Structure 1
Amino acid sequence: MVLTRTTNHTYSHPFPTVTLAFFLRYYSPQLNPFSSHVLSTDTISSHVDPITGRLHTTRIHLKKSRMPSAVVKLLPTSVTGGGGDKSSYVLETSVVDMKEGWMKTESRNLNYTGVLSVVEEQHYSRSPPDGPAFDPTAYSNATALAVARPRSPNTFVTTTFSYRSSLGSKRHDRTHVDLTETQDETGPRRLGSWISGWGASRIQRSIEAIASNKTDDQIMKSRDGMGMVLERLRNNGVVSVLRELRRREGKAVFDQ
Protein backbone atom coordinates (compact mmCIF):
# COMPACT_ATOMS: atom_id res chain seq x y z
CA MET A 1 0.00 0.00 0.00
CA VAL A 2 1.21 3.52 -0.82
CA LEU A 3 -0.35 6.61 0.76
CA THR A 4 0.07 9.88 -1.17
CA ARG A 5 -0.58 13.56 -0.49
CA THR A 6 -0.38 16.39 -3.04
CA THR A 7 -0.27 20.15 -2.38
CA ASN A 8 0.17 23.26 -4.53
CA HIS A 9 1.93 26.50 -3.67
CA THR A 10 2.87 29.75 -5.40
CA TYR A 11 6.06 31.73 -4.80
CA SER A 12 5.90 35.40 -5.74
CA HIS A 13 9.35 35.21 -7.28
CA PRO A 14 10.51 34.45 -10.83
CA PHE A 15 11.46 30.92 -11.75
CA PRO A 16 15.28 31.45 -11.93
CA THR A 17 15.32 32.88 -8.39
CA VAL A 18 13.24 30.02 -7.00
CA THR A 19 15.49 27.37 -8.55
CA LEU A 20 18.54 29.10 -7.05
CA ALA A 21 16.85 29.25 -3.64
CA PHE A 22 16.14 25.52 -3.89
CA PHE A 23 19.84 24.74 -4.20
CA LEU A 24 20.78 27.25 -1.48
CA ARG A 25 18.10 26.30 1.05
CA TYR A 26 20.47 24.05 3.01
CA TYR A 27 23.59 26.12 2.45
CA SER A 28 23.70 27.70 5.90
CA PRO A 29 21.44 28.20 8.96
CA GLN A 30 22.29 31.91 8.68
CA LEU A 31 20.55 31.97 5.32
CA ASN A 32 17.75 29.60 6.31
CA PRO A 33 17.18 29.09 10.05
CA PHE A 34 14.78 26.26 9.24
CA SER A 35 17.70 24.20 7.91
CA SER A 36 19.46 23.77 11.26
CA HIS A 37 18.53 20.06 11.19
CA VAL A 38 20.68 19.56 8.06
CA LEU A 39 24.11 18.39 9.20
CA SER A 40 25.79 18.27 5.79
CA THR A 41 25.12 18.41 2.05
CA ASP A 42 27.31 16.83 -0.62
CA THR A 43 26.97 16.93 -4.38
CA ILE A 44 27.45 13.48 -5.89
CA SER A 45 27.14 14.53 -9.51
CA SER A 46 26.12 17.53 -11.57
CA HIS A 47 26.16 17.97 -15.33
CA VAL A 48 24.40 19.79 -18.16
CA ASP A 49 23.04 17.62 -20.94
CA PRO A 50 24.68 18.95 -24.13
CA ILE A 51 21.58 18.14 -26.19
CA THR A 52 18.72 19.37 -23.99
CA GLY A 53 20.66 21.95 -21.97
CA ARG A 54 19.11 20.58 -18.79
CA LEU A 55 20.99 20.55 -15.50
CA HIS A 56 21.01 17.16 -13.77
CA THR A 57 22.12 17.12 -10.14
CA THR A 58 22.33 14.44 -7.47
CA ARG A 59 22.97 15.43 -3.86
CA ILE A 60 22.90 13.65 -0.53
CA HIS A 61 21.86 15.35 2.70
CA LEU A 62 22.59 14.15 6.21
CA LYS A 63 19.79 15.29 8.49
CA LYS A 64 18.86 15.02 12.12
CA SER A 65 15.70 13.01 12.28
CA ARG A 66 13.24 12.04 14.94
CA MET A 67 10.90 9.18 14.30
CA PRO A 68 7.33 10.28 15.15
CA SER A 69 6.60 9.50 18.78
CA ALA A 70 3.42 7.69 17.78
CA VAL A 71 5.48 5.31 15.64
CA VAL A 72 8.01 4.79 18.44
CA LYS A 73 5.17 3.81 20.78
CA LEU A 74 3.59 1.57 18.16
CA LEU A 75 6.71 -0.46 17.34
CA PRO A 76 9.02 -2.49 19.55
CA THR A 77 12.46 -1.11 20.43
CA SER A 78 14.12 -3.74 18.25
CA VAL A 79 12.64 -1.94 15.23
CA THR A 80 12.85 1.73 16.22
CA GLY A 81 16.16 1.59 18.07
CA GLY A 82 14.56 3.36 21.01
CA GLY A 83 13.50 6.57 19.30
CA GLY A 84 15.16 9.90 20.10
CA ASP A 85 17.31 12.06 17.87
CA LYS A 86 19.05 10.19 15.08
CA SER A 87 20.58 11.07 11.74
CA SER A 88 19.57 9.81 8.33
CA TYR A 89 20.60 10.26 4.72
CA VAL A 90 18.29 11.73 2.10
CA LEU A 91 19.02 11.31 -1.60
CA GLU A 92 17.95 14.24 -3.77
CA THR A 93 17.86 14.27 -7.58
CA SER A 94 16.81 17.22 -9.73
CA VAL A 95 16.46 18.23 -13.36
CA VAL A 96 16.24 21.91 -14.34
CA ASP A 97 15.33 23.26 -17.77
CA MET A 98 15.81 27.03 -17.72
CA LYS A 99 14.75 27.47 -21.34
CA GLU A 100 11.41 25.71 -20.94
CA GLY A 101 10.94 26.95 -17.38
CA TRP A 102 10.50 23.85 -15.24
CA MET A 103 12.30 21.87 -12.57
CA LYS A 104 11.54 18.39 -11.25
CA THR A 105 13.01 17.11 -7.98
CA GLU A 106 12.80 13.91 -5.98
CA SER A 107 13.98 13.25 -2.41
CA ARG A 108 13.89 9.90 -0.63
CA ASN A 109 15.14 8.61 2.69
CA LEU A 110 17.92 6.00 2.67
CA ASN A 111 17.59 4.95 6.32
CA TYR A 112 14.74 3.20 8.16
CA THR A 113 13.20 2.20 4.83
CA GLY A 114 12.11 -1.09 6.37
CA VAL A 115 9.83 0.89 8.67
CA LEU A 116 8.83 3.71 6.32
CA SER A 117 9.91 4.92 2.90
CA VAL A 118 9.09 8.56 2.12
CA VAL A 119 9.42 10.02 -1.39
CA GLU A 120 8.89 13.74 -2.02
CA GLU A 121 8.42 14.81 -5.64
CA GLN A 122 8.19 18.44 -6.69
CA HIS A 123 7.42 20.09 -10.01
CA TYR A 124 8.30 23.79 -10.29
CA SER A 125 6.97 25.71 -13.26
CA ARG A 126 6.29 29.19 -14.60
CA SER A 127 2.62 28.33 -15.18
CA PRO A 128 0.00 27.24 -12.63
CA PRO A 129 -0.79 23.52 -12.37
CA ASP A 130 -4.44 24.11 -13.34
CA GLY A 131 -3.40 25.81 -16.57
CA PRO A 132 -2.86 24.11 -19.94
CA ALA A 133 -1.20 20.73 -19.63
CA PHE A 134 2.53 20.96 -20.14
CA ASP A 135 4.47 18.28 -21.96
CA PRO A 136 8.10 19.30 -22.65
CA THR A 137 8.38 16.75 -25.45
CA ALA A 138 5.45 18.32 -27.30
CA TYR A 139 7.42 21.41 -28.32
CA SER A 140 10.21 21.45 -30.85
CA ASN A 141 11.44 25.00 -30.37
CA ALA A 142 11.50 27.78 -27.82
CA THR A 143 9.12 30.00 -29.84
CA ALA A 144 6.26 27.51 -29.66
CA LEU A 145 6.87 27.03 -25.96
CA ALA A 146 6.83 30.78 -25.29
CA VAL A 147 3.44 31.06 -27.00
CA ALA A 148 2.00 28.16 -25.02
CA ARG A 149 3.50 29.22 -21.68
CA PRO A 150 4.03 32.98 -21.25
CA ARG A 151 6.52 33.96 -18.58
CA SER A 152 5.15 34.78 -15.15
CA PRO A 153 6.60 36.77 -12.23
CA ASN A 154 5.48 33.86 -10.05
CA THR A 155 6.65 30.28 -9.72
CA PHE A 156 4.24 27.45 -9.07
CA VAL A 157 5.13 24.20 -7.35
CA THR A 158 3.24 20.95 -6.95
CA THR A 159 4.51 18.70 -4.17
CA THR A 160 3.58 15.04 -3.80
CA PHE A 161 4.54 12.91 -0.80
CA SER A 162 4.38 9.13 -1.06
CA TYR A 163 4.52 6.97 2.08
CA ARG A 164 5.08 3.25 2.03
CA SER A 165 5.72 0.91 4.94
CA SER A 166 6.92 -2.61 4.21
CA LEU A 167 7.26 -3.71 7.81
CA GLY A 168 6.31 -7.36 8.06
CA SER A 169 6.12 -7.89 4.31
CA LYS A 170 8.02 -10.76 2.73
CA ARG A 171 10.84 -9.33 0.68
CA HIS A 172 13.18 -10.99 -1.77
CA ASP A 173 15.96 -8.69 -0.65
CA ARG A 174 18.50 -11.03 0.96
CA THR A 175 19.94 -8.18 3.00
CA HIS A 176 16.73 -8.17 5.07
CA VAL A 177 16.23 -10.69 7.85
CA ASP A 178 13.41 -13.18 7.39
CA LEU A 179 11.08 -12.31 10.25
CA THR A 180 9.58 -15.80 10.28
CA GLU A 181 12.81 -17.74 10.79
CA THR A 182 13.44 -19.33 14.16
CA GLN A 183 15.82 -17.43 16.43
CA ASP A 184 16.01 -16.42 20.09
CA GLU A 185 13.12 -14.61 21.74
CA THR A 186 14.82 -11.20 21.46
CA GLY A 187 15.40 -11.50 17.71
CA PRO A 188 13.39 -11.93 14.51
CA ARG A 189 11.15 -14.71 15.87
CA ARG A 190 9.75 -12.44 18.57
CA LEU A 191 9.28 -9.58 16.09
CA GLY A 192 7.64 -11.91 13.60
CA SER A 193 5.17 -13.10 16.23
CA TRP A 194 4.38 -9.53 17.22
CA ILE A 195 3.71 -8.53 13.61
CA SER A 196 1.55 -11.60 13.04
CA GLY A 197 -0.50 -10.72 16.10
CA TRP A 198 -1.18 -7.19 14.98
CA GLY A 199 -1.37 -7.86 11.27
CA ALA A 200 1.24 -6.48 8.87
CA SER A 201 -1.26 -4.52 6.79
CA ARG A 202 -2.73 -2.85 9.86
CA ILE A 203 0.72 -1.83 11.09
CA GLN A 204 1.75 -0.52 7.68
CA ARG A 205 -1.40 1.60 7.31
CA SER A 206 -0.94 3.02 10.80
CA ILE A 207 2.68 4.02 10.14
CA GLU A 208 1.81 5.60 6.79
CA ALA A 209 -1.09 7.55 8.32
CA ILE A 210 1.05 8.85 11.20
CA ALA A 211 3.74 10.07 8.80
CA SER A 212 1.18 11.66 6.50
CA ASN A 213 -0.40 13.56 9.38
CA LYS A 214 2.95 15.21 10.11
CA THR A 215 3.29 16.40 6.52
CA ASP A 216 1.52 19.75 7.05
CA ASP A 217 4.07 20.90 9.61
CA GLN A 218 6.95 19.75 7.43
CA ILE A 219 5.58 21.52 4.37
CA MET A 220 5.06 24.79 6.24
CA LYS A 221 8.61 24.80 7.59
CA SER A 222 9.99 24.01 4.15
CA ARG A 223 8.02 26.86 2.56
CA ASP A 224 9.00 29.28 5.32
CA GLY A 225 12.66 28.38 4.80
CA MET A 226 12.43 28.86 1.05
CA GLY A 227 10.62 32.14 1.62
CA MET A 228 13.43 33.46 3.81
CA VAL A 229 16.05 32.55 1.22
CA LEU A 230 13.99 34.16 -1.54
CA GLU A 231 13.54 37.40 0.41
CA ARG A 232 17.27 37.59 1.10
CA LEU A 233 17.98 37.14 -2.59
CA ARG A 234 15.36 39.75 -3.52
CA ASN A 235 16.47 42.38 -1.00
CA ASN A 236 20.24 41.97 -1.16
CA GLY A 237 20.90 40.45 -4.55
CA VAL A 238 22.43 37.08 -5.41
CA VAL A 239 26.09 38.13 -5.41
CA SER A 240 25.78 40.02 -2.12
CA VAL A 241 24.10 37.10 -0.37
CA LEU A 242 26.69 34.59 -1.56
CA ARG A 243 29.58 36.85 -0.62
CA GLU A 244 28.17 37.34 2.87
CA LEU A 245 27.79 33.59 3.36
CA ARG A 246 31.34 33.01 2.20
CA ARG A 247 32.65 35.75 4.48
CA ARG A 248 30.92 34.25 7.50
CA GLU A 249 32.47 30.90 6.75
CA GLY A 250 35.92 32.42 6.37
CA LYS A 251 36.14 31.51 2.71
CA ALA A 252 37.40 33.64 -0.13
CA VAL A 253 34.64 35.56 -1.85
CA PHE A 254 33.67 34.68 -5.37
CA ASP A 255 35.84 35.86 -8.19
CA GLN A 256 34.33 37.85 -10.99
Structure 2
Amino acid sequence: MVKFYQHTFDYDHTWSLVTLAFWLRYPNPFASHVLSTDVIDRYVDPTTGILHTTRLILKKGNAPRWARRFMKSNEAFILEESQIDPRSLTMVSKSKNISHKRIMVIEETQRYKVSPTDANHTQVQLEVRFVSNLGWGLTSKIEAFCQKRFADSSSKSRMGMSYILERLKDKYNLGNYFLKQPQ
Protein backbone atom coordinates (compact mmCIF):
# COMPACT_ATOMS: atom_id res chain seq x y z
CA MET A 1 0.00 0.00 0.00
CA VAL A 2 1.18 3.53 -0.76
CA LYS A 3 0.25 6.64 1.23
CA PHE A 4 -0.20 10.06 -0.33
CA TYR A 5 -0.21 13.60 1.00
CA GLN A 6 -1.44 16.56 -1.08
CA HIS A 7 -1.70 20.23 -0.26
CA THR A 8 -2.12 23.44 -2.28
CA PHE A 9 -1.27 26.85 -0.88
CA ASP A 10 -0.27 30.35 -1.97
CA TYR A 11 2.62 32.62 -1.09
CA ASP A 12 1.74 36.31 -1.02
CA HIS A 13 4.74 37.00 -3.28
CA THR A 14 5.44 36.96 -6.99
CA TRP A 15 6.60 33.83 -8.77
CA SER A 16 10.00 35.46 -9.44
CA LEU A 17 10.63 36.15 -5.76
CA VAL A 18 9.36 32.72 -4.64
CA THR A 19 11.59 30.87 -7.09
CA LEU A 20 14.58 32.93 -5.94
CA ALA A 21 13.73 32.12 -2.32
CA PHE A 22 13.52 28.43 -3.22
CA TRP A 23 17.27 28.42 -3.97
CA LEU A 24 18.11 30.42 -0.85
CA ARG A 25 15.77 28.68 1.61
CA TYR A 26 18.58 26.96 3.53
CA PRO A 27 19.71 27.83 6.10
CA ASN A 28 16.74 29.26 7.94
CA PRO A 29 15.66 29.02 11.60
CA PHE A 30 12.89 26.54 10.76
CA ALA A 31 15.22 24.05 9.04
CA SER A 32 17.98 23.31 11.51
CA HIS A 33 17.76 19.67 10.38
CA VAL A 34 19.22 20.60 6.97
CA LEU A 35 22.98 20.16 7.26
CA SER A 36 24.10 21.00 3.70
CA THR A 37 22.99 21.55 0.12
CA ASP A 38 25.21 21.07 -2.91
CA VAL A 39 24.48 21.68 -6.58
CA ILE A 40 25.77 18.66 -8.49
CA ASP A 41 24.48 19.59 -11.95
CA ARG A 42 22.95 22.67 -13.56
CA TYR A 43 22.31 23.59 -17.17
CA VAL A 44 19.93 25.50 -19.40
CA ASP A 45 18.34 23.53 -22.21
CA PRO A 46 19.23 25.58 -25.30
CA THR A 47 16.01 24.59 -27.09
CA THR A 48 13.46 25.28 -24.36
CA GLY A 49 15.29 27.75 -22.11
CA ILE A 50 14.42 25.60 -19.08
CA LEU A 51 16.93 25.64 -16.22
CA HIS A 52 17.60 22.12 -14.90
CA THR A 53 19.25 21.74 -11.50
CA THR A 54 20.16 18.69 -9.45
CA ARG A 55 21.07 19.18 -5.80
CA LEU A 56 22.15 16.85 -3.04
CA ILE A 57 20.74 17.76 0.36
CA LEU A 58 21.93 16.26 3.65
CA LYS A 59 19.35 16.23 6.44
CA LYS A 60 19.52 15.09 10.04
CA GLY A 61 16.51 13.12 11.16
CA ASN A 62 14.93 12.31 14.45
CA ALA A 63 13.74 8.78 13.85
CA PRO A 64 11.53 7.09 16.41
CA ARG A 65 13.21 4.50 18.59
CA TRP A 66 11.58 1.55 16.79
CA ALA A 67 13.00 2.70 13.42
CA ARG A 68 16.56 3.29 14.60
CA ARG A 69 17.40 -0.40 14.63
CA PHE A 70 16.90 -0.48 10.85
CA MET A 71 19.10 2.58 10.22
CA LYS A 72 22.88 2.98 10.21
CA SER A 73 22.65 6.74 10.70
CA ASN A 74 20.08 9.41 11.50
CA GLU A 75 21.32 11.44 8.53
CA ALA A 76 19.77 11.10 5.08
CA PHE A 77 20.73 12.25 1.61
CA ILE A 78 17.96 13.70 -0.56
CA LEU A 79 18.25 14.08 -4.33
CA GLU A 80 16.37 17.13 -5.62
CA GLU A 81 15.80 17.73 -9.33
CA SER A 82 14.11 20.89 -10.53
CA GLN A 83 13.13 22.60 -13.74
CA ILE A 84 12.38 26.29 -14.03
CA ASP A 85 10.60 27.49 -17.15
CA PRO A 86 10.89 31.28 -17.33
CA ARG A 87 8.57 31.43 -20.34
CA SER A 88 5.57 29.78 -18.71
CA LEU A 89 6.54 30.98 -15.20
CA THR A 90 6.48 27.47 -13.75
CA MET A 91 8.89 25.53 -11.61
CA VAL A 92 8.70 21.84 -10.76
CA SER A 93 10.86 20.36 -8.03
CA LYS A 94 11.06 16.62 -7.38
CA SER A 95 12.96 15.14 -4.50
CA LYS A 96 13.40 11.73 -2.95
CA ASN A 97 15.57 10.17 -0.35
CA ILE A 98 18.51 8.09 -1.49
CA SER A 99 19.31 6.95 2.05
CA HIS A 100 17.21 4.51 4.10
CA LYS A 101 15.34 3.34 1.00
CA ARG A 102 14.92 -0.13 2.48
CA ILE A 103 12.72 1.36 5.18
CA MET A 104 10.93 4.12 3.28
CA VAL A 105 11.03 6.05 0.02
CA ILE A 106 9.53 9.52 0.14
CA GLU A 107 8.95 11.17 -3.23
CA GLU A 108 7.94 14.82 -3.12
CA THR A 109 6.80 16.96 -6.05
CA GLN A 110 6.24 20.70 -5.77
CA ARG A 111 4.75 22.72 -8.62
CA TYR A 112 5.12 26.51 -8.46
CA LYS A 113 3.10 28.74 -10.76
CA VAL A 114 1.53 32.17 -10.82
CA SER A 115 -1.69 32.02 -8.83
CA PRO A 116 -4.76 31.85 -11.08
CA THR A 117 -6.57 34.35 -8.82
CA ASP A 118 -3.79 36.93 -8.25
CA ALA A 119 -0.83 37.48 -10.59
CA ASN A 120 1.28 38.74 -7.66
CA HIS A 121 0.85 35.52 -5.68
CA THR A 122 2.45 32.14 -6.25
CA GLN A 123 0.50 28.91 -6.00
CA VAL A 124 2.29 25.77 -4.83
CA GLN A 125 0.90 22.29 -5.34
CA LEU A 126 2.59 19.75 -3.11
CA GLU A 127 2.26 16.01 -3.62
CA VAL A 128 4.11 13.43 -1.57
CA ARG A 129 4.19 9.68 -1.98
CA PHE A 130 5.29 7.34 0.83
CA VAL A 131 6.37 3.80 -0.06
CA SER A 132 7.74 1.23 2.38
CA ASN A 133 8.88 -2.25 1.48
CA LEU A 134 9.99 -3.25 4.94
CA GLY A 135 7.37 -5.95 5.25
CA TRP A 136 6.63 -7.97 8.40
CA GLY A 137 3.22 -6.30 8.56
CA LEU A 138 4.86 -2.95 9.26
CA THR A 139 4.54 -1.36 5.82
CA SER A 140 1.22 0.44 6.29
CA LYS A 141 2.14 1.54 9.83
CA ILE A 142 5.45 3.02 8.69
CA GLU A 143 3.81 4.77 5.74
CA ALA A 144 1.05 6.20 7.96
CA PHE A 145 3.61 7.36 10.54
CA CYS A 146 5.72 9.12 7.88
CA GLN A 147 2.66 10.69 6.26
CA LYS A 148 1.52 12.17 9.58
CA ARG A 149 5.00 13.38 10.46
CA PHE A 150 5.37 15.00 7.03
CA ALA A 151 2.00 16.74 7.34
CA ASP A 152 2.96 18.02 10.79
CA SER A 153 6.31 19.39 9.59
CA SER A 154 5.15 20.88 6.28
CA SER A 155 3.98 24.05 8.04
CA LYS A 156 7.57 24.56 9.27
CA SER A 157 8.77 24.33 5.68
CA ARG A 158 6.33 27.04 4.64
CA MET A 159 7.41 29.16 7.61
CA GLY A 160 11.03 28.77 6.51
CA MET A 161 10.21 29.88 2.97
CA SER A 162 8.18 32.82 4.31
CA TYR A 163 11.14 33.79 6.50
CA ILE A 164 13.46 33.84 3.48
CA LEU A 165 10.89 35.70 1.36
CA GLU A 166 10.59 38.45 3.96
CA ARG A 167 14.37 38.72 4.31
CA LEU A 168 14.75 39.08 0.55
CA LYS A 169 11.99 41.63 0.31
CA ASP A 170 12.94 43.75 3.32
CA LYS A 171 16.58 43.36 4.27
CA TYR A 172 18.07 43.12 0.80
CA ASN A 173 15.51 45.41 -0.81
CA LEU A 174 14.86 42.91 -3.60
CA GLY A 175 11.13 43.23 -3.09
CA ASN A 176 10.91 46.36 -5.24
CA TYR A 177 12.33 44.48 -8.20
CA PHE A 178 10.22 41.36 -7.67
CA LEU A 179 6.96 42.94 -6.44
CA LYS A 180 5.12 42.78 -9.77
CA GLN A 181 5.05 39.92 -12.22
CA PRO A 182 6.66 40.68 -15.60
CA GLN A 183 4.12 41.43 -18.33
TM-score scaled to structure 1, two decimals? 0.64
How far apart are residue 76 of structure 1 and its match? 8.1
Distance 1:49 1:208 in 2: 37
Matched, 1:44 2:32: no
Matched, 1:203 2:135: no
User: 2:128 maps to what in 1?
Assistant: 161
Q: Secondary structure of 2:74's match?
A: strand
Distance 2:68 2:33 in 1: 26
Distance 2:153 2:141 in 1: 19
Distance 2:51 2:45 in 1: 7
Distance 1:212 1:18 in 2: 25
> Which of residues 115, 136, 149 is equivalent to 1:127?
115
Matched, 1:229 2:152: no
User: 1:87 maps to what in 2?
Assistant: 75
Letter of the 1:101 counterpart: L
Match runs of 1:1-256 below 5 Å: 1-26=1-26, 28=27, 32-67=28-63, 69=64, 72-73=65-66, 77=69, 79-81=70-72, 86-128=74-116, 152-168=119-135, 195=136, 202-237=137-172
Q: 1:41 to 1:115 in 2, by over 3 A?
A: same
Post-superposition CA distance 1:209-233 (Å, at most 9, x none):
0111112222101000000000011
Q: Secondary structure of 1:217's match?
A: helix
Structure with bigger gyration radius: 1
Answer 1 or 2: which has greater strand percent: 2
How far apart are residue 238 of structure 1 and its match? 6.0
The question of whether the paired residues in 1 share the 8 Å contact of 2:5 and 2:151 is answered with: no
Aligned positions, number: 175
Distance 2:77 2:62 in 1: 13
Post-superposition CA distance 1:107-148 (Å, at most 9, x none):
1111111111101100000034xx8xxxxxxxxxxxxxxxxx
Answer 1 or 2: which has greater helix percent: 1
After superposing on structure 2, the runs of 4+ consecutive aligned residues of structure 1 that deviate more than 3 Å are none
Distance 2:71 2:76 in 1: 13
Q: Say what the alpha-carbon RMSD is for the aligned residues.
A: 2.0
Distance 1:107 1:88 in 2: 12
Q: 1:86 to 1:76 in 2, by over 3 A?
A: closer
TM-score scaled to structure 2, two decimals? 0.88
Q: Secondary structure of 1:115's match?
A: coil
Q: 1:152 to 1:51 in 2, by over 3 A?
A: same
**Higher relative contact order by CA 8 Å / sep ≥ 6: 1 or 2?**
2
Distance 2:111 2:170 in 1: 26
Distance 2:152 2:3 in 1: 17
Q: Secondary structure of 1:88's match?
A: strand
Distance 1:14 1:162 in 2: 28
Q: Secondary structure of 1:229's match?
A: helix
